[in-house]
Amino acid sequence: MPPRARSHALSPASRGARGGLARRRENRAPGPRGREGLRPLAAAAARREEGPVKARPRVLALVGAVAALTALAVWSCFVVVDVTEYGLVLRFGRVVRVVREPGLYLKRPYPLESVVRLDRRLLIFRPVTAEFLSNNKKNLVIHSLVTWRISDPERFLATTADRPTAERRISDLVLTKIGSVVGSHPSTALVSVDGHPSQFDEVMGRIVAEARGHAIAQYGIDLVDIRLRQLSLPEQNRANVFERMRAERGKIATQYRSEGEREFKKVVAEADREKTRILAEAYREAERTKGEGDARAMRIYAEAFGKNPQLYKFRRTLQAYEKILGGNTTIFLPADAEVFRLLGDAGKSKKGKSP
């Protein structure tokens, strides 16, 4: 019977009981003992009326909790896998399905089945810097860089489970392979200072091949590439190496200077030889031209003087006078010398013309 109906059904009986009590009170004188006898009846009636009111919030809370649990269970049946991740469905800790494609998927509600998400992107990791000994007993400090991604999600979850653990194992594996490969090659295979070609690509290819095969088989990790960020020498060996490098570079510089000096002298000698040849050719050409000019002049003179011998003789005499009488030269010759004949003739002709 509902609480409200029970309260109505009990109401007449309660009123009758209260009426009978009132009549009995009228028949007897009131006293303290009569009031004490009515208190248990009033308390019982109050409890009967408050019981249904207190039970109502509990029922509502229970219904709300059941609804929330049902909604969570339904929500846990849906799995959204992003394009950058793998989704592994686990049933009591065992992988029952691997979701490789992005999308919305269904599974059994939690805790029957749960989902573990793994990053499927290309990841970059820098192992710790380590020092290695080469085949020719040279210490090399190598700083490496590893590019990797998950290729087998189920094996990765079983062996490493998370990225920090995976990177620790990658670091151990890569450093081990670098040490074994570098230890079987001389230091000149990685870096060459004497001009000979190095075997850097061959060494790095061997490191990548050995490390990749082991990582895929053991951890489900694909080592896409391994690179050396920096290759250096230990601090204690750096000063000696730099000193040796300076000495080698000084020797090479001296060799270059001597070769340059030798080349300079060769060029200067070639230029002097070419200069001498050009000057000789120019002098020969000038002499030839001068000879041709003199010959032509003599020919012209001969033709001109051949037509007038007296003019030729007169001109030659004047030329002789210029050479003999030029400057402050004093010559003592007889007056009838042939050379002064022209002067004598000129004096006679001058006297004959005077009045």
DSSP H stretches of helix in the chain = 3-27, 32-75, 153-159, 163-183, 200-219, 235-307, 309-325, 341-353
Tens-place pLDDT, residues 32-64: 444 555 566 556 555 655 555 556 777 778 878
Three-state DSSP class for residue 80: strand
Band of pLDDT at residue 151, cut at 50, 70 and 90: very high
In the predicted model, what is the mean pLDDT of the chain? 78
**Mean predicted confidence (pLDDT) in 142-166:** 93
Length of the chain: 355
Residue 13: predicted pLDDT: 41
More confident residue, 259 or 245: 259
Band of pLDDT at residue 4, cut at 50, 70 and 90: very low
Three-state DSSP class for residue 131: strand
More confident residue, 62 or 162: 162
More confident residue, 351 or 224: 224
Residue 343: predicted pLDDT: 58
Q: Measured between alpha carbons, how far is 109 from 184 in angstroms, rounded to an integer?
A: 56
Residue 225, C-beta contacts closer than 8 angstroms, at least 6 positions apart: 146, 147, 208
Nearest one of 53, 61, 41 to 6, comparing CA atoms? 53
Band of pLDDT at residue 11, cut at 50, 70 and 90: very low
Residue 142 has pLDDT above 70, yes or no: yes
Q: Measured between alpha carbons, how far is 150 from 329 in angstroms, rounded to an integer?
A: 119
Residue 90 has pLDDT above 80, yes or no: yes
Residue 17: predicted pLDDT: 45
Residue 258: predicted pLDDT: 92
Domains of the chain, by residue range, sit at: 3-67, 78-119, 123-233, 318-353
Nearest one of 78, 160, 81 to 113, comparing CA atoms? 78
Lowest mean pLDDT among 209-218, 238-247, 259-268: 238-247
**Mean predicted confidence (pLDDT) in 283-308:** 85
Topology given in CATH for the domain delimited by 123-233 = Tetrahydropterin Synthase; Chain A (3.30.479)
Partner residues linked to 91 by β-bridges? 94, 113
User: Cα 57 to the chain's mean position, in Å?
Assistant: 67
Q: Measured between alpha carbons, how far is 117 from 1 in angstroms, rounded to an integer?
A: 55
The DSSP letter of residue 306 is H
Partner residues linked to 123 by β-bridges? 148
Tens-place pLDDT, residues 210-243: 999 999 999 999 999 999 888 887 877 777 777 8
More confident residue, 304 or 259: 259
**Mean predicted confidence (pLDDT) in 111-118:** 88
Does this model's pTM top 0.85? no
Taking residue 322's Cβ as centre, other Cβ atoms within 10 Å add up to 9
First-to-last CA distance in the chain?
198
Residue 354 has pLDDT above 60, yes or no: no
For 204-265, the DSSP string reads HHHHHHHHHHHHHHHHSEEEEEEEEEEEE--HHHHHHHHHHHHHHHHHHHHHHHHHHHHHHH
Lowest mean pLDDT among 174-188, 256-270, 303-317: 303-317
Parallel, antiparallel, or unpaired: how do β-strands 103-106 and 78-81 relate? antiparallel
281 φ/ψ sector (left φ>0, alpha ψ -120 to 50, else beta) = alpha
Residue 172: predicted pLDDT: 94
Residue 297 has pLDDT above 50, yes or no: yes
